[in-house]
Amino acid sequence: MPYFQTTDGTTLAYEEYGTGAPLVFIAGWSLYADMWEYQLHYFVERGYRCILLDRRGHGRSDRPAAGYDVNTRADDIAALIAHLDLNDFAMVAHSAGGAEVVRYLARHGQDRVNRIALLAPAIPYMLQTEDNPIGAPRAAFEASAAQLKSDRPQWFAERAQGYFATHLRRGTSQAVIDMEIQRCLSASPYATIAVQRDLFHSDHRPDVAAVTVPFLLLHGLADQSIPIEISSHQAVKLAPHAVLKEYWDAGHGLYITHAAEVNAEILEFLKS
3-state secondary structure string, 12-64? EEEEEECCCEEEEEECCCCCCHHHHHHHHHHHHHCCEEEEEECCCCCCCCCCC
- In the chain, the percentage of residues whose pLDDT exceeds 70 is 100
Residue 150: active-site member: no
Asked whether residue 170 carries a pLDDT value surpassing 80, the answer given is no
Tens of pLDDT, residues 57-89? 999 999 999 999 999 999 999 999 999 999 999
Residue 223: active-site member: yes
Q: Which domain holds residue 197?
A: 3-271
Q: pLDDT band for 169, please (50, 70, 90 cuts).
A: confident
Write down the pLDDT at residue 95.
Answer: 98
CA 169 to chain centre: 21
Write down the pLDDT at residue 145.
Answer: 94
Note the pTM of the prediction, 2 decimals: 0.97
Residue 27: closest CA among 102, 79, 97, 90: 97
| Active-site choice (30, 61, 95, 188) | 95
Tens of pLDDT, residues 175-231? 999 999 999 999 999 999 999 999 999 999 999 999 999 999 999 999 999 999 999
Q: pLDDT band for 152, please (50, 70, 90 cuts).
A: very high
Q: Nearest 5°: phi and psi at 120?
A: 45, 55
Residue 178: active-site member: no
Q: Are strands 3-5 and 21-26 parallel, antiparallel or unpaired?
A: unpaired
What is the side-by-side strand order in the sheet with 3-5?
A: 3-5, 11-17, 48-53, 21-26, 89-94, 113-119, 215-220, 243-247
Write down the pLDDT at residue 240.
Answer: 87
Number of folded domains in the chain? 1
| Active-site choice (58, 94, 252, 258) | 252
- In the chain, the percentage of residues whose pLDDT exceeds 90 is 98
For the residues 139-157, what does the mean pLDDT come to?
95
| Active-site choice (54, 76, 207, 223) | 223
Helix ranges, the chain (H): 37-45, 70-84, 96-108, 138-150, 152-163, 174-185, 189-201, 205-209, 232-238, 254-257, 259-271
CATH number at residue 73: 3.40.50.1820
